[in-house]
């Protein structure tokens, strides 16, 4: 037992329910992703990253850089799929709770 801590004080990980992983921070919709793609390092929710990669794809298209444009579109598609999966899971959860 730690001599410097009273008996009634718990570590934060001891108070967390066992079914939650230590990295669970709330809603999956609000999960923040870090992406190292053709537009550099980006950080944000899946929805934010889709918007940013589409913006960078448009910018690359205006510059005439077809390779960078296609790469950004592929990253945007990846995060769009993540968004779709999140929305599917959320709708299934709402359906199950409605019964």
Of the given ranges (16-20, 48-52, 69-73, 76-80), which has the lowest mean pLDDT?
16-20
Reported as a single tens digit per residue, the pLDDT across 27-59 is 677 889 999 888 889 999 999 999 999 999 999
**Distances from the Cα of 62 to the Cαs of 38, 48, 53, 72, in angstroms?**
16, 21, 14, 13
Query: 5 falls in which pLDDT band (50, 70, 90)?
Result: low
The whole-angstrom separation of Cα 3 and Cα 62 is: 65
What backbone phi and psi angles, to 5 degrees, belong to 75?
-65, -40
The pLDDT value given to residue 12: 55
The whole-angstrom separation of Cα 36 and Cα 21 is: 25
Place of tokens 């790469």: 71
Asked if 75 and 95 count as a contact pair (C-beta separation under 8 A), the reply is no
The whole-angstrom separation of Cα 53 and Cα 43 is: 11
The pLDDT value given to residue 13: 53
Question: Rounded to two decimals, what is the model's pTM?
Answer: 0.66
């Amino acid at each position: 037992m730690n001599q410097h801590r009273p008996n009634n004080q718990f570590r934060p990980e001891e108070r967390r329910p066992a079914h939650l992983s230590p990295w669970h921070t709330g809603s999956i919709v609000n999960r923040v992703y870090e992406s190292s793609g053709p537009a550099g390092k980006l950080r944000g929710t899946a929805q934010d990253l889709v918007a940013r990669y589409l913006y960078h794809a448009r910018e690359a298209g205006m510059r005439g850089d077809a390779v960078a444009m296609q790469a950004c579109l592929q990253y945007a598609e990846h995060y769009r799929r993540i968004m779709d999966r999140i929305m599917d899971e959320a709708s299934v959860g709402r359906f199950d709770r409605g019964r």
